[in-house]
Chain A
Amino acid sequence: MDKQMERQTEELANAYLARQMSRRTFVTRLLALGIAPAAVGAIVAACSSAATTVPSVPPAPSSGGSSPAASLGPQPSPSAADLKGNVRFLIGPWSSDEVAHHQHIAQGFNAIYPNVTFDFRLYQWDTASQEINTSLTEGAHDIYMTTESSYPDYESKTGFSDLTSKITDPSFAGELAKYQYMDRIKSYGPKILGLPISFHVEDAMFVNMDMVQAAGFDEHFIDSYPTFLDCVTKMTKKGQTYGMGIGIQLGGYAEWYQRLRAAGGSYLTPDLKSPNVNLPAVVEVTDQMASLFKLGIAPPLGTYTYDAAPAAFAAGKMAIYSSDLASTTALPASVPFTWKLLPYPPGPVSQVNFNDLSIYMINSKTADQDLAWEVVKWWTNGSSDAYWADNSGTYPARSDAATLGYGTNSAPQLAEALPLFQAHAVGLENFPQWSDVENLAEAEIQNCYAGKETAAQAVANVEKIVKQEVGI
């Protein structure tokens, strides 16, 4: 602990002992200084025993201006003794140490509320929506980390608690302002079901820049499709290196979808009344993707799985591979070449990057809704989000995360690429069947990649899938 931090800690402790700030505020500010949760717990415990042995120090006169507590966090918070119980999480397996990251956040929470215990269970990405739906029906968990893709569906049902009144409560307004992308959540419907924690790019290109340079290009090779194709063609060395690994991301999640959007298509027209898939430009981009396989630029489907791809990339077996940002945590510590995160090249209509939010939501079957709400607030506060996003390989949703430690552990490539991804970001469309359509559509398109059907057939089938699933 350096001198400055020591002095700040002392000041905070004095203020806390002088009852100038709440216990919660005290803990939050200690954490904001970058003190480890375990250490924070020790400091708070020491101060608390001091507070009981040294009774009622009269409040020092305010040094003018707003009190420190006013600027920190939502105000009336339950006292430590009030909150007790066990909170069960169902969360995504972002990184290999995912549970440890959550336990770290839980330690901070327990520094204030020692009587709350936690269980963390991970779902599998492949079966996330199935596991969440089952758990929701059975009341097996209290808090869920969901992806935005299913949000329109959740919005149309009653499985998750409606948090609108809590989130729009004036006392929460100061805090609410720090959640970015709240507008996106609000846009899906009248209810607000949760608070966002990450802004996640689902299909970024992990690019081996050494190979790009050797092929005679720089990072601008993604500025047009022809240069992109030229570059990946040149980087392909038969039996040694594939120029561009696609179809690796789980079920191809959103991989083709962002090409669909780049070609000016979408599953439904903006009024959500008719399909908008079967366009010539969409067939064209689909054919482009399929030809990567035909030309041997992309490894045949099934060669690399989501889990095996990072190692293959690090070993130079793929010059580029397409995956989500969490893949950064799976890359070896030292990759023997320079690499960058880049967006996909433009399509016939625009350059597009698909991203979605991760959101914490509460099971409507959970008995102690207030406890769950306190926990969700803690998990999505600036320092928790910073810590989690930093270690799980994604962008935090909180605007204050950057000042609270984000970027200390994550790959530097992430921060560098953020502006690129934000520039062309698109999300999903607001209809409840979106994620099922997406799953079926990507599988259908992969049949085309595998040479089982033409691009035109696959695109026509996707349009049929949209009609069937949406029921139009």
Chain B
Amino acid sequence: MRLSPGQHRQLRRQARLKRELTAWLFLGPMFVFFVVFLVVPVVGTVWWSTQAGGIVGGTTNVGLQNFQRLPDLVGATTAIQNTLIFALLSIPPILIGALAISLVLARIGRGAAAYRFFVYFPVLVPGVVAGLIWLFLTNVDFGLFDNVLRAFGVQPVTWLGSDTALGVLAALDVWRNVGYWAIFFVAAIIGLPEELYQAANLDGASTAKRFWYLTLPLMRRILFFAIVVSTIWGLQVFDTALVLTNGGPGTATTTIIFRVWQYVFGTNDKVGFAAAISLVLIAAILTLTLTQMRLLRSRRGDD
């Protein structure tokens, strides 16, 4: 029996409806979460950025004034500088360290799970606790770091002093995040085809060359992901700065998000100001990420 075009249309519509209904059934919950936890806050932030006043009292619309006042803010440059320096100090060691650790971990057979746990352990430590641990490590009188220096007859260092605090903060971040990426990289390395390495081995590639010509390019995608994500995280450093140094000494570890926090929860109704800073930071991170994407995805084979 031949069906008319109209009948075909109707049947096709029914089939499609059924398929889409199923799709929405699965997507629905995710979509709700997306709206509630992402869209609403972002729209809220945009709204707040045009307001003066605080959470407790009322607010008034001030247009773009919050943004216009940002450049004059005392310490704005310092906060941006601190954040960028922090990112530069922490991200390369995190990724290079994670890569080095993962290369070793991927080769370990016996007790691999135990080693991986030890490497991953700092990741499980909440930022606040990590800050406290490092407070003890860096204590001038009884901290581990200065005790080691003393044992070697070196003058103890004021680790949380104004010149070194940001570096210590970066070191803490390396300590906390290196394991995270190491585990990612181990998984990637283990997933690389064994035959390629055998082939390269026969082709006369030394260990170093196999790393350079095979491992690195084959891990391109995950490395790229790690660079982007750790940059995003790095620019948002906050909790450890709060616990370890409270943004000090002076403003030595006052980062952008630290300023946002000061303004949001400070006594003095500057939520709109905080929202404006956040939006500028979001825009900056977005720009940076897109630039990284363009730079890193220059070659074919990465799509």
Is there an interface contact between B74 and A130, defined as CB atoms closer than 8 Å?
A: no
A127-158 CB mask vs B (1 if < 8 Å, else 0) is 10110011011000000000000100110111
Is there an interface contact between B249 and A301, defined as CB atoms closer than 8 Å?
A: yes
Interface size range on A against B = 35 or more
Shortest distance between the CB of A71 and any CB in chain B (Å):
40
Is there an interface contact between A302 and B249, defined as CB atoms closer than 8 Å?
A: yes
Of the candidates A134, A305, A450, which one forms a contact with B265 in the assembled complex, judged by CB atoms under 8 Å apart? A134
Q: Which residue of A lies closest to B263 (CB)?
A: A436
Does A271 lie at the interface of the complex (its beta carbon under 8 Å from any beta carbon of B)? Answer: no
Which residues in B have their C-beta under 8 angstroms from that of A154? 267
Is there an interface contact between B162 and A301, defined as CB atoms closer than 8 Å?
A: yes
CA distance A302 to B145 in the complex (A): 15
Q: Which residue of B lies closest to A250 (CB)?
A: B246
CA distance A58 to B1 in the complex (A): 110
Is there an interface contact between B267 and A133, defined as CB atoms closer than 8 Å?
A: yes
Q: Which residue of B lies closest to A130 (CB)?
A: B265
Does A468 lie at the interface of the complex (its beta carbon under 8 Å from any beta carbon of B)? Answer: yes
Which residues in A have their C-beta under 8 angstroms from that of B140? 303-304
Does A276 lie at the interface of the complex (its beta carbon under 8 Å from any beta carbon of B)? Answer: no
Which residues in A have their C-beta under 8 angstroms from that of B268? 153, 432-433, 435-436, 469
Interface size on B, residues (CB 8 A): 40
Is there an interface contact between A443 and B247, defined as CB atoms closer than 8 Å?
A: yes
The SS class assigned to the A binding surface is helix
Is there an interface contact between A153 and B267, defined as CB atoms closer than 8 Å?
A: yes
A-B contact count (CB 8 A): 131
Which residues in A have their C-beta under 8 angstroms from that of B161? 300-303, 450
- Most B Cβ at <10 Å: residue of A129, A447, A448: A447
Which residues in A have their C-beta under 8 angstroms from that of B270? 436, 469
Is there an interface contact between B250 and A449, defined as CB atoms closer than 8 Å?
A: yes
Is there an interface contact between A301 and B250, defined as CB atoms closer than 8 Å?
A: yes
Is there an interface contact between B250 and A133, defined as CB atoms closer than 8 Å?
A: no
Shortest distance between the CB of A183 and any CB in chain B (Å):
23
Does B165 lie at the interface of the complex (its beta carbon under 8 Å from any beta carbon of A)? Answer: yes
Which residues in A have their C-beta under 8 angstroms from that of B162? 300-302, 446-447, 450-452
Shortest distance between the CB of A102 and any CB in chain B (Å):
24
Which residues in A have their C-beta under 8 angstroms from that of B72? 464, 468
Closest 10 CB pairs of A and B: A301-B249, A446-B250, A130-B265, A450-B162, A302-B160, A447-B250, A436-B268, A302-B161, A153-B267, A433-B268
Interface residues of B (CB under 8 A from A): 54-57, 69, 72-75, 78, 135, 139-141, 158-165, 242, 245-252, 254, 261-262, 265-270
Interface residues of A (CB under 8 A from B): 126-127, 129-130, 133-134, 136-137, 150, 153-154, 156-159, 247, 250-251, 299-305, 308, 311-312, 315, 317, 432-433, 435-436, 439-440, 443-452, 461, 464-465, 468-469
| 24 A-B residue pairs with CB within 8 Å | A133-B56, A133-B266, A153-B268, A153-B269, A157-B54, A157-B57, A247-B249, A251-B248, A301-B162, A302-B165, A308-B141, A317-B141, A433-B268, A435-B267, A435-B268, A436-B267, A440-B262, A443-B75, A443-B248, A447-B250, A448-B250, A451-B162, A464-B74, A469-B268
